[in-house]
Amino acid sequence: MPEKITQRARNFPPNLYFNIPFRTKSKYRVERGDVLLCTLDRVEDSSGNMLVNVGREIECPVAKRDGRFYVPPELIAGLNLIGVEYYAFTLRKVRRKDGSEEDLYPG
């Protein structure tokens, strides 16, 4: 089962980033230059109520710092999100700098 996470965004829209769970980052050696292949499932408010059901597969680069992945800014702008919401992701694979891919199965 791929890893599912729900986090509040960091930074200012449309350049939002999220943190890869520490165990996943260390187990799969995710580092700067890799790309996470994931699905942005939904966007929720602070009470857990769904605001937007996205269900879109995206590629999120791990850039600037290990352990952070960045959602494409055009997606955030297109959904008109302001960055204070909670975002639910399914992390499926990591694509390495050399082009190889590895499935993420935290269990």
Mind listing the pLDDT tens digit of every residue in the chain (107 residues)? Answer: 688 999 999 998 899 999 999 999 999 999 999 999 999 999 999 898 999 999 999 999 998 888 899 999 999 999 998 888 999 999 999 999 999 999 998 66
Residues 6+ apart with CB under 8 A from 81: 13, 16, 43, 52
For residue 18, the tally of other CB atoms under 10 A from its CB is 22
Residues 29-39, buried b or exposed e (16+ Cβ, 10 A)? ebeeebbbbbb
Residues 6+ apart with CB under 8 A from 11: 17, 83
Q: What is the pLDDT of residue 65?
A: 83
Q: Where are the beta strands (DSSP E) in the chain?
A: 3-8, 17-19, 35-44, 50-61, 68-70, 86-95, 101-103
Whole-prediction pTM value? Answer: 0.90
Domains plus CATH for the chain?
A: 3-95 (2.40.30)
Widest CA span in the chain: 41
